Structure 1
Amino acid sequence: MRKILFISVLLFSFFGYSQKKVLQTKFISDNIIIDGKLDENIWKSVPAAKDFIMFQPDNGKLIPENKKTEVKVLYDNDAIYIAAAMYDDEPKKILREIVQRDNFGASDIFGVFVNGFNDGQQDFRFIVSASDGQADCIGTDTNGEDYSWDAVWKSKATITNFGWVVEMRIPYAALRFSGEKKQTWGLNFFREIKRDKHKYSWNFIDSKIGTFTQQTGVLEGIENIKTPTRLFLLPYSSFYVNANSQQKTYGTIKGGLDIKYGINDAFTLDAILIPDFGQTKYDDQILNLGPFEQQFNENRSFFTEGTDLFSKGNLLYSRRIGGRPSNYPTTASNEEIIDNPSSVNLINALKVSGRTKDGLGIGILNAVTEKTYASIQNNDTKEIRRELVEPLANYNVLVLDQRFRKNSSISFINTNVTRNGSFRDGNVSALVWDLNTKKNTYNLSGNFKYSYINDIEDKKGTATSLNFGETSGKYRYSIGTEILSKDFDNNDLGINFETNYYAIYGNANYRILNPTKYFNSFNTNINMYTQFQKETGKIQGNNINFNINSNNKQNHYFGLGINANPIESHDYYEPRTENRYLIFPKRMGGWFMFSSNYNNKFAIDINPSFAVLSEPGRNSYGFDIGPRYRFNDKFSLNYSFSFFRQNNNKGYIDSVEDDLNAITPNAIIFANRNVLTYSNSLSGKYSINSKMTFNLSLRHYWSFAENKNFLSLEQNGRLTDYMNYTENRNSSFFSWNGDISYSWWFAPGSEISILYRNNAANFQREIDKDFGKKVTTLLTNDQLKHVFSISIRYFIDYNAVKNKF
């Protein structure tokens, strides 16, 4: 009997794991009501997908009978329909926290992953929570899950006496597939039992293999569908009230229109005819003492939604579009700048993206920004003149991405910025490759980039990288190199900080694939990186770090790391002067991270860190702490406090003429300073239901750098005392952001949003260390701005309108 059982297990492992499962569907003409009841008789006419297998933590383990899952699929000329029954022997214990769209919180979830080309490259994922919430994303092995992508589809989840049920309707407009008469789709189903943190899939996902999208099952039976026209209109109207103590309250009404048009079943056109980003999240600004600009997240939905193609080669930093003007106004000694816009208005934007049945992905992004002027006043005559700081500009991105053998790709990317008149233009092209062996055990990736800048004088530069690694099994590694020429510049439409170097790097790591006595997951890795200045060969950067990350049996997260810069390096950027460098000392640091199980009503994150440098008294330390409490399935609050201190930090502050020094007549001045940073944030939500939510977001930030004495940078990169500098170059920056919002998805794809927002920021040279005063000063500051806005967006399906008339 034991032998028979053993042979059965082996057969199941071979046929159930090594082969793709196949699910049959059928065409229907009956009407299915999406109510989560599954009471239509047509559901009984098709087979069910079952025998789910654990993905995490115990990879390969069959789902227990009392948690079995059964899923069925039907289709018509408009959409596919999903019916899923998730059994649970304790339905009352099913977690069902109500959260906003694209969030899960503490809730069980069920997902459908569809690949219309069955090429193992990209999934369209539709997820429903036990609290009846929706989430959707585009999933790739290269970029992970992109939840900025939103589709319009219907779903309903209900709790039953045997577990819970999900019913879904996913229109073809939300998918991409070829125009063939007989369709074969990649398909997988996903279930997470949140209280156990157990994740299951219908087709087995082997965690030894470094890919997710290529291990799907197959959906067969979709034939001769007549898909409707994919044309959607999203008109919107917004009303804003702005006020502060220095101006009268005034109201503004805006309106606009977004268009989505399906060129065919594989390609889609998205266009903004009249932009309105008034309710976009504020940037979290910081005190930036370094040589590089602060990089901000993209919060405008048009530039975040479905941009996986445009992220190829890492050449697009979309905040350049509508960002700061590219030029700074020039003034005479008797002139003063009274208005210099911090951003440029967007006139319109469009993008076309999709993929052919042969695996060729095509992406086109184009945006136009308007002329922007600064206002300059003559202090003698009081006359005001305008100076053009940004001309009419066109931003364009082209991507061609050829996939082959289901797990590899070669891409060509071009970004171009053309500014009207005699302003700077930028053009960057890149060839990017991502090659994997047939069994996904090894990867060879890299790129070659070429930039051309048309400015006062033409500038051309190159950048290239090559990486090889093992991507499967318990033990994995990678090695690589990169080279950037001095004139490589992709900053017109991208972002890049360092050039003129070559580097080598490596990584080795170990992970468990199945739980042990103490851990559900455990991985450790060691990374090494060394960077050399390209012309001199001097070490420009070096780092070695060792990290451990784990989840224990109670699903608490523990992590720790040790990092070091074991060799002095030459910083060519901090001096802000060409061919000058600062010697950066040796450094040793570490961190620890604890995050308790978020399924518990009370959870907490704790993250202390420290570093010690090889200069007397130079060190840093800090911590983050973030308690959170879920009062019930509707109401929760999260608080976070961060503190970080740097003692005897050395940083650039000025460059001055030094008549006493014949060797270096221009002295580069550094400060020996203490830098302290405090950050407080509070966020919360109250969800009336899965379609209606109140949200709270507050952030107070304060950072200051207090100079102790001044130093001069010598030619050898060392710092010596400098007694001739007397200016106050202390820095103190504090800011406040506060948002209270209400969101109601009153129909599929349609939303009413009400937002009250206030914010203020201030930079000073004088440092007042009264923390409480800093908070109250911001809240009573004359610069505190108040904005109240109401925005309504309505989703119109051309076919629904056509059918009515």
Structure 2
Amino acid sequence: MKNLFLILFFLAYTFGYSQKKVLQTKFTSETITIDGKLDEPIWESVSIATDFVMFQPDNGKPIPENKRTEVKVLYDNDAVYAAAMLYDNEPSKILKEISQRDDFGASDVFGVFINGFNDGQQDFQFFVNAADGQGDCITTDSNGEDYSWDAVWKSKAVITDFGWIVEMRIPYAALRFSSEKKQTWGLNFFREIRRDRQKYTWNFIDSKIGTFTQQTGTLEGIENIKTPTRLFLLPYSSFYVNANGHQKTIGTLKGGMDIKYGINDAFTLDAILIPDFGQTKFDDQILNLGPFEQQFNENRSFFTEGTDLFSKGNLLYSRRIGGRPNSNPTVAENETVIENPSSVDLINALKVSGRTKGGLGIGILNAVTKRTFVTIENKDTKETRREEVEPLANYNVLVLDQRFRKNSSVSFINTNVTRNGSFRDGNVSALVWDLNTIKNTYNLSGNFKYSYVNDIADKKGVYTSLNFGETSGQYRYSVGGDLVTKDFDNNDLGINFETNYYSLYGNANYRILNPTKFFNSFRINYNLYTQFHKETGKIQGNNININVNLDTKKNHYVGFGINIAPVESYDFYEARAENRYVILPENYGAWLYISTNYNNKFAFDFNPSYSIFNETNRRTYELTVGPRYRFNDKFSLNYSFDFSRRNNNRGYVDSVDEDLNTSTPETIIFANRNVITYANSISGKYSISSKMNFNVAVRQYWSYAENKNFLSLKQDGRLTDYENYNTNKDSSFYSWNFDLSYSWWFAPGSQVSVLYRNNAADFDRTINKDFGKNVTNLLNNEALNHTFSISVKYFIDYNSIKSKI
């Protein structure tokens, strides 16, 4: 009888947690004040969501009674409302660090996850922390969390004698759903008890299954809502003062407006009129000695917010829009460029995105950039002329993404760049698939991309890949391959470095799903990658990687691993010449990463690595150290020191023609060099409240390459000593960036930003190893740019204007 009882209990436990929970909501005509008091009578009559279950680290464990969580949901014709009672038997120990939006810091968090189509594919997630701060993101299983998306909604968090309370108002404008009279939404609630590093959800998220968004509960009861017009205006005005040693102080006043319009409840139009990106975060420039351009992060909010559809196929590198000019000017020997814009101005941009009831996602992004000229001066006559380096250009992205069976999708993507006149145009089309079995145990994914470039010589190319893997359980694996033809080129609106290869790769890993005596989490990975040159079959790249990642019982993170390239490889890019390559030696390396518990006032990150190459005295040492200290809930500072040293690194420096009267190919010069890099970064914040913050960010960077001797590249890919070259090709690059900012969210969606910035960069062929003097010289340089700016943006809801009128 006892055994029968245990079996029935186990079955009931398993059945209960494997089913979707259902929460009933109800309509309210009462005015709900978002104050964290929950004193409106209607709250007493609505169903309660409770019985939360641990997601991490002890997956499936019920929440303790003394930390129980109770959530209720109401709705009206404008919004849904959520009220959460978060019990805690030690309310004085609730962590509540104050921080800016989307940065929860060391703080308890409550979240509401909504999927208006209940298709298991995309969650709109809204978070409130115990310091009354907001965060929001769009989440998909394929792309993870996108915190660049910001909605306008209201919330209030209040600490009480029994725990804390959260009250939220989420307008329909912040969501996407069908036009059905009777709505059924995917729904989950989330709670993190930060001091214990424990995360709970209302509907159980089984970590054995390789999906998060498909394991939600259901919200029922929303019927016959009459949603208002979704039209929002965001006018802004900015004032800039710029100065440096080369020009007088200049003041500039700018103004413009962003528009967001709900075409219907599922589709939204976003548009920029008169763009202003003057307060965008600076780029972390480096000394780039390699054959490929440096890839920068996108920091402009229009190109980061809600762009999950446009990331399909990895074809969009939005920094191309308004980036550097596409061509270089033709300059005679007696001419010099005196004015050379570093970027192309954006005229306007818009995007339309949404999803139909049938699961078809449609995304359109379009942007237009201005003609751009450089000014060239004749050294002899001092006359100037202008030359066009970037014409009027149109950038366009189209995405059609069909979801089905709540866990799979097939997408078509097209990117197109059309430039006025004789400049090159580019077009890329792709078919992308992500297919999962019904139980989310196996995945088949891949793509087929076709590029066409209209230039002096037209080019057509193909990029295709296929990957299969097991995605559930403790043991998981994947295998796959890529094929890229020589003329594949998506660099007009995307970014791609290597072509003309095929590759094979595989991964196997093991993880624990629940804590053990020593670890909260533990995972070991084995990765294998081999790349072959498509035309010759030579190995272009090979790597075996084994790594371990774990969390200790005290919530310290530790990772370590080894990398092995066991055979020589052929690099067809470093030589910067057609059909030429350099042979890279075998190499072996190891790394360690330690990150202590950020809940502690003092924490640090420690990341050393070491690599050895099968060449005389060729070594690489790298070290990152990052201490951080939280003085109190308002004030914290983080410091990071990065150092790397590459001894006897061998890389390209020049190409010379030995004899112009013969058919002898040009001589490709390499240098045997030491490359040393130092980078110091400081970031800090002082938060008066969750809506008013001061932030500081400082980065000093210095990297130099000191050539020891020169080598010539032979036809067989080997390097040999070369004595007939004495040009100075040493490189030294310095940069400095300092940002001090103040932001105040004085109303929902409305912000005042004040920024002081100074920055400078310098490249030199002479290396001065006096570190302090280098920094001083850079800061005293006349090229140090100073910028002071004030920006005000105000969020206007069309319905509020309409009601007042």
TM-score range, shorter chain: over 0.9
Aligned equivalent of 2:167:
167
Task: Name 1:273's counterpart in structure 2.
Answer: 273
Supply the distance in 2 between the matched residues of 1:315 and 1:507 (Cα, whole angstroms). 24
SS across alignment from 1:176: coil
Aligned to 1:649: 649
Write the distance in 1 (CA, Å) between the matches of 2:44 and 2:5.
32
Secondary structure (helix, strand or coil) at the match of 1:799 reads helix
Secondary structure of the corresponding residue to residue 27 of structure 2 = coil
Partner deviation per Cα, 1:47-73 (whole Å, 9 max, x = no partner): 100000000000000001001000000
Shift of 1:421: 0.6
Aligned to 1:125: 125
Q: For the residues of structure 2 that align with 1:387 and 1:596, how far apart are their CA atoms?
A: 55
What is the aligned partner in structure 1 of residue 377 from structure 2? 377
The CA distance in 2 between the partners of 1:246 and 1:650, in whole Å, is 38
The residue number in structure 1 matching 2:673 is 673
CA shift, 1:337, in A, is 1.2
Tell me if 1:688 matches 2:688.
yes
Q: For 1:235-278, what per-residue CA distance to the aligned partner results, in whole angstroms no more than 9, with x for missing partners?
A: 00000010112211121100000000000000000000110000
Q: Which residue of 2 aligns with 1:239?
A: 239
Letter in 1 for 2:760: A
2:143 alignment counterpart: 143
Give the whole-Å Cα distance in 2 for the aligned partners of 1:535 and 1:245.
53
Aligned-pair distance for 1:339? Answer: 1.4
Q: Structure 2: where are the runs of 5+ without partners?
A: none
Q: CA deviation at 1:8?
A: 5.6
2:56 equivalent to 1:56 = yes
**1:779 aligned counterpart, secondary structure:** helix
Q: CA deviation at 1:41?
A: 1.1
Structure 1 residue 661: Cα displacement: 11
Separation in structure 1 between the aligned mates of residue 781 and residue 8 of structure 2, nearest angstrom = 74
Write the deviation string for residues 450-491 of structure 1: whole angstroms up to 9, x where unpaired: 000000011100010000000000000000010000000000
Please name the residue that 1:659 is paired with.
659
RMSD of aligned Cα (Å): 1.0
Structure 1 residue matching 2:15: 3-state secondary structure: helix
1:585 matched to 2:600? The reply is no
- C-alpha separation in 2, matches of 1:710 and 1:799: 70
Q: How does 1:467-616 map to 2 (within 5 A)?
A: 467-616=467-616
* Over 2 Å off, 4+ runs: 1-9, 659-665
Distance in 2 of aligned mates of 1:537 and 1:246: 54
Of 692-701 and 331-340, deviating more is 331-340
SS, match of residue 272 in structure 1:
strand
Q: How far apart are residue 14 of structure 1 and its match?
A: 2.8
Counterpart-to-counterpart distance in 2, 1:527 and 1:310: 29
Q: Deviations over 1:384-421 (max 9, x none)?
A: 00000000000000000000000000000000000001
**Residue 637 of structure 2 corresponds to residue 633 of structure 1:** no
1:741 and 2:741 are equivalent in the alignment? yes
Asked whether 1:206 is paired with 2:210, we answer no
Q: Distance in 1 between matches of 2:659 and 2:15?
A: 83
In 2: Cα distance, 1:799 partner to 1:548 partner:
54
Q: In structure 2, what residue type is equivalent to 1:534?
A: K
Secondary structure in 2 aligned to 1:186?
strand
1:487-516 CA-partner distances (Å, limit 9, x unpaired): 000000000000000000000000000000
The correspondence of residues 263-302 of structure 1 with structure 2, limited to 5 A, is 263-302=263-302
Q: Give SS of 2:343's match.
A: coil
Cα deviation, 1:726-769, whole Å, max 9, x if unaligned, reads 10000000000000000000000000000000000000000000
Aligned residue for 1:448?
Answer: 448
1:195 counterpart SS class: helix
What is the CA distance between 1:123 and its match in structure 2?
Answer: 0.3
1:11, CA displacement in angstroms? Answer: 3.9
The CA distance in 1 between the partners of 2:32 and 2:328, in whole Å, is 61
Secondary structure at the counterpart of residue 800 of structure 1: helix
Letter in 1 for 2:265: D
Query: Alpha-carbon deviations, 1:600-632, whole Å to 9, x = none?
Result: 000000000000000010011020000000000
d(CA) in 1 for partners of 2:687, 2:702: 31
CA distance in 1, matches of 2:451, 2:574: 24
Partner Cα distance (1:321, 1:661) in 2 = 44
Q: CA deviation at 1:775?
A: 1.2
Counterpart in the other structure of 1:83: 83
Name the residue aligned to 1:225: 225
Q: Distance in 2 between matches of 1:363 and 1:15?
A: 39
1:330-345 alignment, distance < 5 Å: 330-345=330-345
Whole-Å separation in 1 of the counterparts to 2:246 and 2:427: 43
- Tell me how far 1:662 sits from its aligned partner: 6.8
Q: What secondary structure sits across from 1:386 in the alignment?
A: strand
Letter of the 1:379 counterpart: K
Q: Which amino acid aligns with 2:327?
A: N
**Corresponding residue of 1:772:** 772
Calculate the TM-score normalised by the size of structure 2: 0.99
Deviates more, 1:654-663 or 1:677-686: 654-663
SS at match of 1:132: coil
In the alignment, structure 1 segments of 5+ residues that lack a partner are none
**CA positional deviation for 1:7:** 4.4
**Distance in 1 separating the partners of 2:645 and 2:416:** 41
SS in 2 for 1:83: strand
How far did 1:15 drift? 3.0
Cross-structure match for 2:439: 439
Structure-2 change in CA distance of 1:184 and 1:660 (3 Å):
closer
Post-superposition CA distance 1:706-725 (Å, at most 9, x none)? 00000000000000000000
Shift of 1:12: 3.5
Aligned partners of 2:748 and 2:654: how far apart in 1?
56
- Partners in 2 of 1:126 and 1:264 — Cα distance? 22
1:387-402 matches, cutoff 5 A: 387-402=387-402
Distance 1:579 1:184 in 2: 59
Q: Is the partner of 2:637 in helix, strand or coil? A: strand
- 1:142-183 superposed Cα distances (whole Å, 9 cap, x missing partner): 000000000000000000011000000000000000000000
Alpha-carbon distance in 2 for matches of 1:652, 1:553: 48
Cα distance change, pair 660–411 in 1 and its aligned pair in 2 (3 A)? closer
Distance (whole Å) between structure 1 residues aligned to residue 146 and residue 626 of structure 2: 25
For residues 225 and 475 of structure 1, the distance between their equivalents in structure 2, rounded to whole angstroms, comes to 46
1:318 deviates by 0.1
Match of 1:699 in 2: 699
Q: Per-residue deviation at 1:6?
A: 2.5
Name the SS of the counterpart of 1:14 in structure 2: helix
Q: CA deviation at 1:777?
A: 1.2
Distance 2:709 2:14 in 1: 71
Separation (CA, whole Å) in 2 of partners of 1:339 and 1:253:
22
Q: For 2:312, what is the secondary structure of its paired residue?
A: helix
d(CA) in 2 for partners of 1:263 and 1:663? 64
What's the TM-score, normalizing by structure 1? 0.99
Q: Structure 1 CA distance, aligned partners of 2:23 and 2:632? A: 39
Aligned-residue offset at 1:380: 1.6
CA distance in 2, matches of 1:660, 1:445: 52
Give secondary structure in 2 for the equivalent of 1:488.
coil
Deviations 1:300-336 (A, max 9, x none): 0000000000000000000000001111000112111
**Cα distance, 1:9 vs structure 2:** 3.4
CA gap 1:329/1:672 in 2 versus in 1, 3 angstroms? same
Cα deviation per residue 1:650-686 (whole Å; 9 max; x = unaligned)?
Answer: 0000000113997844100000000000000000000
Whole-angstrom CA distance in 1 between matches of 2:346 and 2:51: 52
**Which residue of structure 1 lines up, in the alignment, with residue 96 of structure 2?**
96
Q: Equivalents in 2 of 1:783, 1:2: separation in Å?
A: 82
Distance in 2 (CA, whole Å) between partners of 1:588 and 1:661 is: 45
Q: Secondary structure at the match of 1:85?
A: strand
CA distance in structure 1 between the partners assigned to 2:472 and 2:308 by the alignment = 24
